[in-house]
């Protein structure tokens, strides 16, 4: 079992924990204290990671699927055995409440188990050609060195969801975690090392600033694949970068989910549903409900009940007993939330609860409910926090039109 004092804080390149070109602090957003200092990567370190992954790829690609499967299975077992420690770590560097953190760890571990089972089931195809004089054989091969870029909101889940399938397929990887939450990623790399991953197969770098180093790796002829989860704005930049060499991309970008409550809905159940849809992970999820549309006939009752439920949430450091809403990942992210609320209020929004930044240390922002009109600016943004703007509508057709009035179609909720 790991403890905080045993945490790796170096880069992981070619099977070794190594120093980089400098260091940066990692903060506990609930009080601003420094948890650890991690090493950062420059050109030398990023090039070394690419070289290590490239050199390891041919042998790793040839390994038996069962061999790769057993490593992933072992990593799953270690993660589950150390789930309490890992949850504490996630909560400490991300700010989320411990119950959300524990749920994330178990969810993250499942990707290792799932892909351990899928490793031995990579299917091909064999068929007769349309002309009848040939046989067509379709097989699947690992694409090669994969650059994996993960966000801060699910530092464990996003890492295992990308590493798991890559390892299962026989690819080698370079993981670049969010600079706000690198310790969880480092703990996962340590788990993979203990599970038996050969050197060079998995590498971790934390470049800062990230943009130039990511661009450098994407323009390296040895990198063949990019997987990115993050904002649409950054995704657009990375797709353009990847296009220079026609790198295969897997992109999971922004959301702005609508939550629609029709006039015949069970209001109490709809409120419960919205509390889950909005407040999972403190609202910092791409699937979080960000635009709430409620039929005019029931809007007053729904808003009153929902605002009451939000106001009763206990906001506290994530590891405090009974905490239901922790800190944002950083003061910067907390301030973004506050600025969006201020923008909304200037545009005519009414604050039903919350909306005032608390005094004292920590990147906290209270559960906030706003009533706004359909043109309010906040509806255009993905609010990565505990803010819920409510809009009323009069007909089902209007509700459909409002729900579809967004460039982001990741998920929708209807009651």
Partnered with residue 36 across adjacent β-strands are 26
As a three-state string, the secondary structure of the chain is CCCHHHCCCCEEECCEEECCCEEEEEEECCCCEEEEEEEEECHHHHHHHHHHHHHHHHHHHHCCHHHHHHHHHHHHHHHHHCHHHHHHHHHHHHCCCHHHHHHHHHHHHHHHHHHHHHHHHCCCEEEECCCCCCEEEECCCCCCEEEEECCCCCCCHHHHHHHHHHHHHCCCEEEECCCCCHHHHHHHHHHHHHHCCCCCCEEECCECCHHHHHHHHHCCCCEEEEEEECCHHHHHHHHHHHHCCCCEEEEECCCCEEEEECCCCCHHHHHHHHHHHHHHHHHCCCCCEEEEEEECCCHHHHHHHHHHHHHCCCECCCCCCCCCECCCCCHHHHHHHHHHHHHHHHCCCEEEECCCCCCCCCCCCCCEEEECCCCCHHHHCCCCCCEEEEEEECCHHHHHHHHCCCCCCCCCEEC
Q: Is 171 a catalytic residue?
A: no
What are the residues whose beta carbons fall under 8 Å from the beta carbon of 236, sequence distance 6 or more?
none
**From the candidates 46, 82, 286, 333, which is the catalytic residue?**
286
Q: Is 320 assigned a catalytic role?
A: no
Of the residues 110, 117, 252, 342, which is catalytic?
A: 252
Tokens of residue 27, six digits: 């903060």
Q: Among all chains, which residue has been given the structure tokens 């943009």?
A: 211
Q: Are 61 and 200 in contact (CB under 8 A)?
A: no
Question: Which amino acids are annotated catalytic?
Answer: 252, 286
């Amino acid at each position: 079992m790991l403890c905080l004092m045993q945490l790796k804080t170096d880069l992981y390149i070619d099977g070794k924990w190594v120093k980089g070109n400098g260091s940066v602090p990692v903060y506990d957003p609930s009080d601003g204290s420094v948890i650890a200092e991690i090493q950062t990567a420059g050109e030398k370190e990023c090039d070394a990671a690419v070289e290590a992954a490239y050199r390891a790829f041919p042998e790793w690609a040839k390994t038996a699927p069962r061999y790769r499967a057993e490593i992933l299975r072992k990593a799953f077992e270690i993660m589950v055995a150390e789930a309490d420690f890992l949850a504490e770590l996630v909560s400490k560097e991300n700010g989320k409440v411990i119950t959300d953190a524990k749920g994330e760890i178990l969810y993250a571990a499942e990707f290792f188990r799932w892909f351990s089972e899928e490793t031995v089931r990579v299917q091909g195809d064999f068929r007769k050609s349309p002309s009848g004089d040939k046989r067509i054989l379709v097989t699947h091969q690992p694409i090669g060195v994969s650059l994996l870029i993960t966000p801060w909101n699910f530092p464990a889940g996003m890492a295992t969801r990308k590493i798991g399938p890559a390892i299962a397929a026989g690819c080698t990887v370079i993981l670049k975690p969010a600079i706000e939450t690198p310790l969880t990623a480092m703990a996962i790399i340590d788990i993979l090392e203990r599970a038996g991953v050969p050197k060079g197969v998995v590498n971790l770098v934390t470049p800062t600033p990230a943009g130039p180093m990511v661009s450098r790796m994407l323009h390296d002829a040895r990198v063949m694949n990019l997987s990115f989860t993050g904002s649409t704005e950054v995704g657009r930049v990375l797709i353009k970068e990847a296009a220079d060499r026609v790198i295969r991309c897997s992109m999971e970008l922004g959301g702005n989910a609508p939550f629609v409550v029709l006039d015949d809905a069970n209001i109490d159940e709809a409120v419960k549903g919205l509390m889950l849809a909005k407040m999972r992970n403190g609202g910092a999820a791409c699937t979080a409900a960000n635009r709430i549309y409620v039929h005019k006939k029931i809007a007053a009752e729904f808003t009153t009940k929902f605002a009451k439920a939000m106001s009763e949430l206990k906001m506290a450091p994530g590891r405090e007993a009974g905490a239901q809403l922790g800190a944002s990942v950083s003061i910067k992210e907390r301030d973004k939330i506050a600025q969006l609320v201020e923008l909304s209020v200037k545009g005519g929004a009414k604050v039903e609860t919350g909306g005032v930044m608390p005094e004292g240390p920590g990147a906290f922002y209270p559960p906030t409910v706003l009533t706004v009109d359909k043109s309010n600016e906040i509806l255009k943004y993905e609010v990565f926090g505990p803010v819920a703007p409510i809009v009323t509508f009069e007909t089902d057709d209007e509700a459909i039109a409002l729900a579809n009035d967004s460039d982001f179609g990741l998920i929708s909720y209807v009651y």
